[in-house]
Amino acid sequence: MALKTYRPFETKRMSERELRQEYRRLRRNANRRLANMEKNNLGRWGPNRFASSRDMSATWVEKALLDVSRFLRDPRHTVKGEREHMQAVIAGLHENKIYGIDESNFYEFTDFVEDLRKKYSEKIFDSLDTAEVFVQMNRIGVDPDLVMEKFDQFAKYSHRLHRLQIPRKESGLEYKALMNKIYKLK
């Protein structure tokens, strides 16, 4: 049986009591799924991602019901689905000749990519370049916080580097040269 979508036009027909009961039921299922994923060392959501409806208004329960139903409908939010997603991403990186990212450091890699994306909106490196930076960083044992600090310096002084071409090759040597240039700007 397919899970309902719980969009606003569907939930308007439900009483507040029905909304809360349905949210509790779906929340319980979602938290079981999250605990199972955590037990299998998959995902980064934590075992109780979805809050109790006790202190929520009816409007917030509607929104939370939509969120939890989306979570449960997403095939990635199962142990099998998350493993398949992880393997597909790693295989895609390997197709692009980026090695050094595997299941043991996959979430560290995705956190690094997400931090860069949030901070710089992909203005410095695209996803493949970011993956290459992560691989080189792990290969030589550089702390991710230090790399982020250097990217901050790069962003701060980028107006002075308008003629500098960002390297887009498969070797980490160009990145090292770029980082050296950025470091010398201090």
Nearest by Cα to 44 from 86, 73, 100: 86
41 Ramachandran zone, left/alpha/beta (phi>0; psi -120 to 50): left
Mean pLDDT for the stretch of residues 81-110: 91
Q: Where are the domains of the chain?
A: 8-77, 87-184
Residue pointed to by tokens 């019901």: 65
Range in 18-27, 118-127, 145-154, 162-171 with the lowest mean pLDDT? 162-171
pLDDT score, position 1:
41
The structure's pTM equals 0.66
